[in-house]
Structure 1
């Protein structure tokens, strides 16, 4: 059994996937790197995956499947994982070597110690193409550092500060026990990955290191604003799916309830902002339908989302409404890193 399984979803990723894989190799025999070739046809992604399996037997494994999208690739990695812990690293991203050592040391301590751990949280860095200053997402204001804690111990998340896929390493069995199965052929499912398991998470640990390097700047990336506008239907679909997993208004733990409600709020804001930025009547109608959907399916949640600070700005006319919309847009930018 491995200490950590790392899934790398790859789709026509030949131009950059080796940088990702090489950054993970220093984990050595304690780590398995699951290179998931998700039906790539335009380049030699599959051949690169096979080569690393040959060159690093017992560490790298190539998994080939028909194209099913990012979610299907994560699902495949989770199915095949033998590690006690599980992480996803996208093929155009990478990790910091020094922080990687600290992460593995921390995970190892829990495997051989008395405490169990459900989720390890680290910082990530926005590696924005062309940017001189690299923005770091850390959780110093929100989470206790270097100790095991529960939801009761969580402090204050500031606007735009959320635990994203880049931040988390889960206990593998927790993901399996909660039935995590990401939808196929759907973008933005990383939000489901960091949302659906949360009520099952009991013990957490925040390691204040800049581990994950999140690359943004390619014009074809899913977080490019124009790409996101073109995929607004996908964003809305994921938002509705997330609302269907739990009635968050009935969660017993107050801090967990608040955090998950705020996560849904930012999902509603992103969908609304994309509709507003598109400037089309068609997308504005989709925005209206989404808010009506929430109102119909969960009136209590609707009130919390609609009359929160950001929710008001997505639906108010005039200068005041636009100012709140702009504030929401800036928070959405920070959340997704889109430009």
Structure 2
């Protein structure tokens, strides 16, 4: 049977969560999908779990076993074998809402575009569920990429909302950076150059699991891997400096980088024990000033916290040092208090 959708599941040490992820993709009589599980050199029983499911669903599940090469290598390997007209990524610790997913497949069968957007939930451990959706895009209509790129809510959606036509990735030899984490940002950056027709489907498909200890979005792990964010950002800046983009594309791509910029500056400048060479940040800062002058100026107004409104980037640019330790400790205490407040509020 022809496959309408290929779903790549990058998996590293996910034996305890992979089953939930796969089960969410197996509503009754859904044989026109392809589930590509990429085992990224796991040290636990992830591969065993994947192969058990493959044995039960041989016409639906493909298993790739490879040495560890990090997130981007999993996407690259999955893309090589994908047979679906469309392609989507699902992290092994996340899942789809099965009912919404089944409806979504019916929509895909009647759709012929380059990019499909769907809603998703942020599912916070021991906390609230936050719905993410496009507030100002017309649903169930084919839209031009120019119109979509100008949408403020589109900028906030991220990779969990995105499904691409597989052909546009293959035709343009799309590859993610290998050997580092956080390359999911590349998934919503580079392919947008090739997108022409877009379709918004307001189904809440993706369930994004947040707050799990040990995941790459754990603040302690982000701090350790801040060089990965810088490598990703430098590659994005290289692309912008060597290619021609429309004004709408530029606006979207620049805004795409804002989150990465915030992550870099905030983690380097508000952590006193990160052990990061500030000269590296200074070199990046000069490049931002040259290539993105408006954003460079805007960054001067970034504050530590709404209850600690100190302009930490402005301070560092003038003093070439971080705020004193007492300020950094206040920030840590505020974040802890905010987490407790959100927990009790939920």
TM-score class, shorter-chain normalisation, is: 0.7 to 0.9
Segments of structure 2 that go 5 or more residues without pairing to the other structure are: 316-330, 336-341
Q: Report the equivalent of 2:40.
A: 38
Q: Report the equivalent of 1:134.
A: 129
Q: Report the equivalent of 2:165.
A: 171
TM-score (norm 2): 0.83
Inter-CA distance 11–168: structure 2 relative to 1 (3 Å threshold): same
Q: Report the equivalent of 1:312.
A: 300
Cα distance in 2 for residues equivalent to 1:192 and 1:283? 25
Residues 146-184 of structure 1 show CA distances to partners (whole Å, capped at 9, x for unaligned) of 2110123235315x9423111111000111122211121
Residue 246 of structure 1, CA deviation:
2.8
Q: Report the equivalent of 1:303.
A: 293
2:302 touches 2:313 (CA, 8 Å); kept in 1? no
Cα distance in 2 for residues equivalent to 1:283 and 1:107? 48
Q: Report the equivalent of 2:322.
A: none
Q: Report the equivalent of 1:144.
A: 138
Q: Report the equivalent of 1:272.
A: 265
Residues 226-256 of structure 1 show CA distances to partners (whole Å, capped at 9, x for unaligned) of 210111101111111122223399522x322
Q: Report the equivalent of 2:324.
A: none
Residue 322 of structure 1, CA deviation:
4.2
Q: Report the equivalent of 2:252.
A: 259
Cα distance in 2 for residues equivalent to 1:16 and 1:78? 23
2:155 touches 2:252 (CA, 8 Å); kept in 1? no
Residue 137 of structure 1, CA deviation:
1.4
Number of residue pairs matched by the alignment: 311
Residues 61-99 of structure 1 show CA distances to partners (whole Å, capped at 9, x for unaligned) of 111111111111111111110110001100000000121
SS in 1 for 2:110: helix
**Aligned equivalent of 1:120, options 82, 92, 116:** 116
Larger gyration radius, structure 1 or structure 2: 2
Cα distance in 2 for residues equivalent to 1:250 and 1:171? 22
SS in 2 for 1:313: coil
Cα distance in 2 for residues equivalent to 1:230 and 1:323? 20
Q: Report the equivalent of 2:106.
A: 105
Residues 94-133 of structure 1 show CA distances to partners (whole Å, capped at 9, x for unaligned) of 00012112211111002xxxxx3101101111111000x2
Residue 323 of structure 1, CA deviation:
10
Residues 247-278 of structure 1 show CA distances to partners (whole Å, capped at 9, x for unaligned) of 399522x3222111111222212211111221
Q: Report the equivalent of 1:15.
A: 16
Inter-CA distance 323–75: structure 2 relative to 1 (3 Å threshold): closer
SS in 2 for 1:246: helix
Cα distance in 2 for residues equivalent to 1:270 and 1:150? 31
2:26 touches 2:98 (CA, 8 Å); kept in 1? no
Q: Report the equivalent of 2:283.
A: 289
Inter-CA distance 247–162: structure 2 relative to 1 (3 Å threshold): farther
SS in 2 for 1:24: coil
Deviates more, 1:260-269 or 1:200-209: 260-269
Q: Report the equivalent of 1:84.
A: 85
Q: Report the equivalent of 2:152.
A: 157
